[in-house]
Amino acid sequence: MNNTSRISFWNRLTVGTKIGAGFALALAAVAVIGVVSYRSTVKLTETADWVDHSHKVVESLEGVLSDLKDAETGQRGYLLTGDDHYLEPYLAAITAVHQKIADLRKLTPDNPSQQRRLDALEPLLESKFAELKQTIELRKDEAKGFEAALKVVKTDVGKKIMDDMRKVIGDMENEEHGLLKRRSDEAQASAQNTLYTIVIGSASAFVFLFLIAYFITRSIANRLGKITVAAEKIGKGDLRGEKLESGSRDEIGQLADVFNNMVESLKNLTGQILSVTGNVNSAAQEIMASTQQQASSTKEQAATVQEVTSTMQELTQSGSEIGDRAKQVASAAEASSVASRSGVQAVQDTNRTMEAIREQVEEVAEKIVALSQKTQAIGEIVSTVNDIAEQSNLLALNATIEAAAAGDQGSRFSVVANEMKHLADRAKECTVQVRTILGDIQKGINSSVMLTEEGVKRVEVGKQQAGVTERTINEMNSTTVESVQAFQQIIGASNQQQIGFEQVTQGMRDIRQAAEQTASGTSQLEKAVSNLNALSHQLRAAVEQYRI
Amino acid sequence: MSNDRARIDWDGARRRLQEADAILERALVADAEKIDRVYRDRAAQMAKRHMGAVTIARSMRVLIFSLGLEMYGIAISDLVEVLPSTRCTPAPRGAAEIAGVINLRGELRSVVDLRRLLSLPPGADEPVTCILMLRNGRDEVGLKVGRVEKVQTIREDELASPETGGAEGYGSYVKGLSPDKVIVLNTAALRLHPAIRNSR
């Protein structure tokens, strides 16, 4: 129970976290070891400084003693010789001793016992230097100076002071030597500790890191091995394996999930590829068929291009004929323009002639009307004659009646009356004939007047038509001029058309070459399609290796 | 058509005009041929025998006139004279058959409309109307008729009987129908008509 929960906790961590945690532990161990080493090294360095310091103090103390001996040596020399240049070591020692005492004070400010000893040393120094100075001063008297100085020396005051000082300096040296020994021991112990820390820490870090690496490697490698086995099966085309357990949510688990999805997709894909391969097979067949169709249609196209080329040559021929005809028509249209100008002139002449005709016809109408008036006069005369004939008729009748009333005596008179009646009847018949003729004449006159009126109207209409004709001819003339321009444009266009026809013919040749290339390409395409067919069969065989 | 009319034969026209002038000249001037023809006509005329000279038994001379579409005849022995058409003054209190009165040489004469008198349907007005003055005893009465044609001699035995076709009253005024389809009026019966009898 505890074990499984630990594993599940372990499995919840990602691989990156696991590796990161291992490296973090290693870094912590290295840091601990480094800190410990640093601290012990610093301590060793400090101890070494202190040892050096102690050596400096001891050296200064030895220097003080040496200087004191130099000063005493210089004094003894002067005392013995009285020569001033023996005083030089003495004078130099005084200055050097004071300097060394000051250095010592500076070197040992943290050590009160040494300071006290220095405090004790300084009066001794002063008294020693005072004794030396006294003797030197005494020796300066040439006469009895040596004696007096010797006497002072023989008092042994100076020696006693010197011994005291030796004792004080010896104490100080001893103390410094003790300090030195103690600090060396401390440094030794610190170095030992450091050594232990490094050895133990390194060993424990090594062990710990080895364990972590073992666990991480085991958790990654085992599961990757399972996935590898499954991938090997898939690589051999077997897609029927069981699903992998994801186990954990780390990258390997995600990889297992993705792998499962991949297998599923691969199954679908393989099925699709199988069906698509079938489709590719049939499509390759179709492409083969359409390629053969294309080959035959390419041959037809070549034949058609040949026909179009010959047609284009005919077109070129007819185009040049069109150009020639257009030139002829243009010259004819120019001639027509000239003719239409003379036509306008003729129409204007016709107009004037028609005006003259109208005037003459109106004059004719006037004359005819005058004739009609004369016919009226004749009619009146005829009417009078008719009246006379009527009266003569009645007169003859009355004469006949009178003759009848007269009986036999009136018979001859009756004959005369009868003759009278005959004459009257004939006169009346003549008037009737004259009237008929007059009516005909009047009708003729009326129709003549109407005809002349009609003629005048027609002349008017003719004038209007002549005007229309003139306008029409003018319009025709302008149209003809436009036509001339248009035909000149046609001639130019026909020339361009010839160029275009030649270009089209050239293009047709190019098309024929292209068709030939297409034919060769089509045969290559046929080969490629048969290859494709074989390839699709191979693909199908390859895909059928997959067992879903 | 107009083209044909436009091509008039001017020479022909001028020739026809000259011929017309010549004909007119000849018509107005008496030449030998014309005089000869006139002489022959006159000779033929003079050679004719007078109709009146031949006495035919039971014949009568009749003045023939039109009335409507029919031709009528009346004996000239009953007529005084023939007058040309005159405007008749309408007479007051006159009978329906009286057309009016006229002044003839200072005397007033009644004029009877023969169409109404014969009870004929009133047709269109006659183009020429004449007035026949009918002897009526010592008096005269006018008959308004159509156009007067001529005088003709008719044999009385050739007249057809009026009884064959005639309405009541109409037949009594008709003496008979000649072979020329002339209706010969009975003057004596006309005089008995009240309009004529009372018009004196």
Q: Do A401 and B52 touch (CB under 8 A)?
A: no
Q: Look at residue B42 and tell me whether its pLDDT is greater than 70.
A: yes
Q: DSSP class of residue B124?
A: S
Looking at the complex, does the CB of residue A391 fall below 8 Å from at least one CB of chain B? Answer: yes
> Does A247 fall in a domain?
no
Sheet holding B139-145, edge to edge: B79-84, B130-136, B139-145, B107-113, B98-104
Structural domain harbouring B136: 59-197
Question: What is the full per-residue pLDDT of chain A (548 aa) written as tens digits?
Answer: 444 445 566 666 777 887 888 788 888 888 888 888 888 888 888 888 888 888 888 888 888 889 888 888 888 888 888 888 888 888 888 888 888 888 888 888 888 888 888 888 888 888 888 888 888 888 887 777 788 888 888 888 888 888 888 898 888 889 888 888 888 888 788 788 888 888 888 888 888 888 888 888 887 888 888 888 888 888 887 877 777 777 677 778 888 888 888 888 888 888 888 888 888 888 888 888 888 888 888 888 888 888 888 888 888 888 888 888 888 888 888 888 888 888 889 988 988 998 998 899 889 889 988 988 888 898 899 999 988 998 898 898 889 888 888 877 887 888 888 888 888 888 989 999 998 998 898 899 889 888 888 888 888 898 888 888 888 888 888 888 888 888 888 888 888 888 888 898 888 889 888 888 888 888 888 888 888 888 888 887 887 777 77
Residues A42 and A163 in one domain: yes
Residues B146 and B99 in one domain: yes
What pLDDT score was predicted for residue B64? 92
Q: Look at residue B166 and tell me whether its pLDDT is greater than 70.
A: no
Which residue among A192, A207, A224 closes a domain?
A192
Report the chain B residue with the minimal C-alpha distance to residue A392.
Answer: B84
> Does A280 fall in a domain?
yes
Q: Do A401 and B150 touch (CB under 8 A)?
A: no
Residues B120 and B160 in one domain: yes
Residues A138 and A286 in one domain: no
> Does B69 fall in a domain?
yes
Taking contacts as CB-CB distances below 8 angstroms, the residues of chain B near A393 are 148
Q: Look at residue B65 and tell me whether its pLDDT is greater than 80.
A: yes
Residues B80 and B128 in one domain: yes
Residues B127 and B190 in one domain: yes
- In single-letter form, the type of residue at position B121 comes to P
> Does B54 fall in a domain?
no
The Cα of A451 is separated from the nearest Cα of chain B by a number of Å equal to 12
Q: How far is CA B48 from CA A305, A468, A481, B41, B43, in A?
A: 118, 77, 93, 11, 9
Residue B190's pLDDT band, with cuts at 50, 70 and 90, is confident
Residues B27 and B108 in one domain: no
Residues B128 and B170 in one domain: yes
> Does B53 fall in a domain?
no
- Partnered with residue B100 across adjacent β-strands are B111
CA–CA separation, A223 vs A229, rounded Å?
10
Residues B41 and B135 in one domain: no
Residue B115's pLDDT band, with cuts at 50, 70 and 90, is confident
Q: What is the CATH number of the domain that holds A461?
A: 1.10.287
Total domains in the fold of chain A: 2
**Average pLDDT over all residues of chain B:** 80
Q: What is the CATH number of the domain that holds B92?
A: 2.40.50.180
Residue B55's pLDDT band, with cuts at 50, 70 and 90, is low
Taking contacts as CB-CB distances below 8 angstroms, the residues of chain A near B81 are 398, 401-402
Cβ contacts from A onto B, under 8 A = 45
Taking contacts as CB-CB distances below 8 angstroms, the residues of chain B near A418 are 51-52, 151
Chain B positions contacting chain A at CB under 8 Å are: 45, 50-53, 61, 63, 76-77, 79-84, 128, 130, 148, 150-151
Higher pLDDT, B168 or A468: A468
Residues A268 and A187 in one domain: no
> Does B76 fall in a domain?
yes
Residues B13 and B107 in one domain: no
> Does A254 fall in a domain?
no
> Does B23 fall in a domain?
yes
Residues B143 and B163 in one domain: yes
Q: Do A400 and B80 touch (CB under 8 A)?
A: no
- Taking each helix axis from N to C terminus, what angle separates A251-405 and A157-235, rounded to the nearest 10 degrees? 50
Residues B38 and B68 in one domain: no
Which residue among A192, A207, A241 closes a domain?
A192
Cβ-contact B141, B104 below 8 angstroms: no
Please tell me which of the candidates A394, A411, A418 has its beta carbon nearest to residue B82.
Answer: A394
Q: Do A397 and B52 touch (CB under 8 A)?
A: no
The Cα of B80 is separated from the nearest Cα of chain A by a number of Å equal to 7
The Cα of B45 is separated from the nearest Cα of chain A by a number of Å equal to 9
Q: Look at residue B2 and tell me whether its pLDDT is greater than 60.
A: no
Which residue among A134, A166, A192 closes a domain?
A192
> Does B122 fall in a domain?
yes
Please tell me which of the candidates A400, A411, A421 has its beta carbon nearest to residue B76.
Answer: A400
Total domains in the fold of chain B: 2
Residues B157 and B74 in one domain: yes
Structural domain harbouring A136: 14-192
Residues A176 and A271 in one domain: no
CA–CA separation, A508 vs A502, rounded Å?
10
> Does B101 fall in a domain?
yes
Q: How far is CA B49 from CA A10, A391, A400, B41, B46, in A?
A: 187, 26, 17, 15, 8
> Does A2 fall in a domain?
no
What pLDDT score was predicted for residue A407? 78
ipTM summary value: 0.77
% chain B with pLDDT above 90: 4
What pLDDT score was predicted for residue B167? 46
Taking contacts as CB-CB distances below 8 angstroms, the residues of chain B near A444 are none
Quickly list DSSP for A39-97. HHHHHHHHHHHHHHHHHHHHHHHHHHHHHHHHHHHHHHHHHHH--GGGHHHHHHHHHHH
Q: Look at residue B136 and tell me whether its pLDDT is greater than 60.
A: yes
Q: Do A421 and B52 touch (CB under 8 A)?
A: no
Q: Do B76 and A404 touch (CB under 8 A)?
A: yes
Residues B32 and B75 in one domain: no
Q: What is the CATH number of the domain that holds A45?
A: 1.20.1440.210
Residues A336 and A476 in one domain: yes
> Does B186 fall in a domain?
yes
